[in-house]
Structure 1
Amino acid sequence: MAHRLKRERDYSYIEVGEGKPLIVLHGLMGGLSNFDAVTEYFSKRGYRVIIPELPIYSMSLLKTNVKSFAKYLHDFIAFKELDDVILLGNSLGGHIGLYHTKMFPKKVKALIITGSSGLYESAMGGGYTKRGDYEVIKKKAQDVFYDPAVATKDIVDEVYETVNDRNKLIKTLAIAKSAIRHNMSKDLPNMTLPVCIIWGKNDTVTPPEVATEFQELLPNSDLYWIDKCGHAAMMEHPEEFNELLNAWFEKRKL
Structure 2
Amino acid sequence: MVSFTEELVDVGGTKVHTLKGGSGEPLLLLHGANGNSGWLKFVDALAEKYTVYYPSHPGYGKSERPDWLETIPDMACFYTWYLETLGLEGVRAIGFSMGGWIASEIAAMCKHSFSKLMLVDAVGIKPNDSEIADLFIISPAQVLDLVYHDPSQAPEYQALYGTEPTPEQTMMAESNREMAVRLCWKPYMYDPRLPSLLRRVKIPTRMVWGKNDKIVPLECGELYNKAINGSDLVVIDNCGHSPQVEKPDEFIKASLDFLA
Q: Could you tell me the TM-score, scaled by structure 2's length?
A: 0.81
What is the letter of the counterpart of residue 179 of structure 2?
Answer: K
- Matched ranges for 1:174-193 at <5 A: 174-177=182-185, 179-181=189-191, 183-193=193-203
**CA deviation digits over 1:179-202, x for unaligned, max 9?**
434651111222111101110000
Which of 153, 162, 166 is the matching residue for 2:161? 153
| Structure 1 unaligned spans of 5+ | 129-135
Q: Cα distance, 1:17 vs. partner?
A: 1.7
Q: Cα distance, 1:30 vs. partner?
A: 3.1
Q: Cα distance, 1:63 vs. partner?
A: 1.7
Q: Cα distance, 1:126 vs. partner?
A: 2.7
Q: Cα distance, 1:60 vs. partner?
A: 5.3
| Structure 2 unaligned spans of 5+ | none
Q: Cα distance, 1:220 vs. partner?
A: 1.7
Q: Cα distance, 1:164 vs. partner?
A: 8.2
Q: Cα distance, 1:245 vs. partner?
A: 1.4
Partner Cα distance (1:155, 1:91) in 2? 25
Q: Cα distance, 1:14 vs. partner?
A: 1.1
Q: Quote the residue 1:50 is aligned against.
A: 53
Partner Cα distance (1:115, 1:231) in 2? 6
Q: Tell me, what secondary structure is at the counterpart of 1:101? A: helix
Q: Could you tell me the TM-score, scaled by structure 1's length?
A: 0.83
Could you tell me whether the CA contact under 8 Å between 2:125 and 2:191 is conserved in 1? no
Change (3 A) 1:124 1:6: farther
**CA deviation digits over 1:195-216, x for unaligned, max 9?**
0111000001111111111111
Which of 230, 235, 254 is the matching residue for 1:244? 254
- Matched ranges for 1:89-104 at <5 A: 89-104=95-110
Could you tell me whether the CA contact under 8 Å between 2:76 and 2:106 is conserved in 1? yes
Partner Cα distance (1:124, 1:183) in 2? 21
Partner Cα distance (1:156, 1:142) in 2? 16
Partner Cα distance (1:139, 1:199) in 2? 21
Q: Cα distance, 1:19 vs. partner?
A: 1.9
Q: Cα distance, 1:4 vs. partner?
A: 3.4
Partner Cα distance (2:164, 2:198) in 1? 34
Give the count of matched residue pairs.
Answer: 239
Could you tell me whether the CA contact under 8 Å between 1:16 and 1:39 is conserved in 2? no
What is the letter of the counterpart of residue 247 of structure 2?
Answer: H
Partner Cα distance (2:37, 2:122) in 1? 16
Q: Is 2:179 the counterpart of 1:171?
A: yes
Partner Cα distance (2:95, 2:163) in 1? 19
Q: Tell me, what secondary structure is at the counterpart of 1:225? A: strand
Q: Tell me, what secondary structure is at the counterpart of 1:55? A: coil
**CA deviation digits over 1:86-131, x for unaligned, max 9?**
1100001000101111111112111000010110374254323xxx
Would you tell me which structure has more helix in proportion to its own residues?
Answer: 1
Q: Tell me, what secondary structure is at the counterpart of 1:111? A: strand
What is the letter of the counterpart of residue 8 of structure 2?
Answer: R
What is the letter of the counterpart of residue 70 of structure 1?
Answer: A
